[in-house]
Structure 1
């Protein structure tokens, strides 16, 4: 279910275009705080386990062409 409550005098445009989307993003940006920098920490190889892929998925991926073909 979509919450269509609008707080403020911004017109509600459900069929918006790119300009409308960019405007929405510009209005929301001040409400979101981003960290200055995220430094990933190394993961010990002992914590990395194998990946199990179902045979059907493996066949599907094997049948796909490589990117750029």
Structure 2
């Protein structure tokens, strides 16, 4: 049996603006959960294997300064 008194769903606004996107996000935010953060632990180099870096990329990275210089 259909409920004839129920309001029709609003059509999806695919061409919405930033304000409508922010409103959608604000309505969905209570439904999102934040996973517990695990602290990252360093990986010993002996466990890293099978990674190959092209020589040109290695030279490029070697020539770059460290972050924050």
Q: Smaller-chain TM-score range? A: 0.3 to 0.5
TM-score scaled to structure 1, two decimals? Answer: 0.48
TM-score scaled to structure 2, two decimals? Answer: 0.48
